[in-house]
Structure 1
Amino acid sequence: MTDLSYLMLRLVAGVSLFGHGLVRLPKLAGFSQWMTGTFAKSMLPQRLVMPFSYTLPIAEFIIGILLMLGLFSGKAVLAGIILMLLLMFGTCLIENWEALPSQMLHALVLILLLQFIASNNISLDRFMHN
């Protein structure tokens, strides 16, 4: 049952990240404009915000797919945690306290996945290594 629980937790994280990226990719320029506008009065320079705003949806999309498939799972989980840390930092800088609990929940799910990575038996990783 642990393997199935791990699969479900991995799918929860994967679908969320995949969905975030999927809806943003078709409107990438608009998303970037929104994000750079949101951070315009923060201490982050626009030269950092702009590339991040274009990279974020692509990262969410790719990490989400990898998690859903269970492919390169350990690296995908670590990438997801790093992504959440970056998002949380930015959220704090613009004082968007309403978004922080959701990001912390995502991070917690990813940390649980990392903690119990040995239960990642229903995955492409396991299939490819057998």
Structure 2
Amino acid sequence: MQSKTTYLIVRLGIGLSMFGHGLVRLPKLEAFSNGMVKMFANSILPEFLTVPFTYAIPIVEFTFGLMIVLGLFTRTAAIVLSALLISLIFGCTLIENWDAITSQLVHLAFVAYLVNFVKDNSYAVDTLMGKSN
């Protein structure tokens, strides 16, 4: 029972963080994208790759963060968020934004916990659907 409660606490914490990141960025999606593109203007990434990714970030954060909060396809959602976070870490290395990497690594560790201990995901929509991730 204790591990199921711990899993719920971690799942809600990391899910709300990712969901909140996306939620506040969606209404200002174009401004968010423009700001990110400016940050990467002097990096080795070409703009034609940067622009679509910057538009996708808040959508992925919002959608898969919500799925984590609900416990819906939890393992899959956590893997998608892991891929996003790893991409963000790589991007930050390209522009030498070392401070942001710490936060991303912390998020990644919690998301990895969700993947590794998904067997403890009891208080979730997945459980109601009889789905075992």
TM-score, with structure 2 as normaliser: 0.96
What amino acid sits opposite 1:31 in the alignment? F
Partner of 1:99: 100
Matched residues, percent identical? 44
Structure 2 equivalent of residue 37 of structure 1: 38
Q: Does 1:51 align with 2:58?
A: no
Q: How far apart, CA to CA, are the structure 2 residues paired with 1:18 and 1:77?
A: 12
1:2-81 pair list within 5 angstroms: 2-81=3-82
Equivalents in 2 of 1:32, 1:114: separation in Å?
A: 29
**In structure 1, how many angstroms separate the alpha carbons of the residues matched to 2:61 and 2:115?**
17
RMSD value over aligned CA atoms?
Answer: 0.8
Quick check: 1:118 aligned with 2:119?
yes
Instruction: Look up the SS of the partner of 1:95 in the other structure.
Output: coil
TM-score, normalisation: structure 1: 0.98
Q: What letter is aligned with 1:26?
A: P
Shift of 1:55: 0.6
Once residues 30 and 42 of structure 2 are traced to their aligned partners in structure 1, the CA distance between those partners, rounded to angstroms, is 20
Distance 2:43 2:92 in 1: 10
The AA in structure 2 aligned to 1:116 is F
Q: Distance in 1 between matches of 2:5 and 2:128?
A: 15
Whole-Å separation in 1 of the counterparts to 2:116 and 2:79:
11
Unmatched 5+ residue regions in structure 1?
Answer: none
AA in 1 matched with 2:6:
S
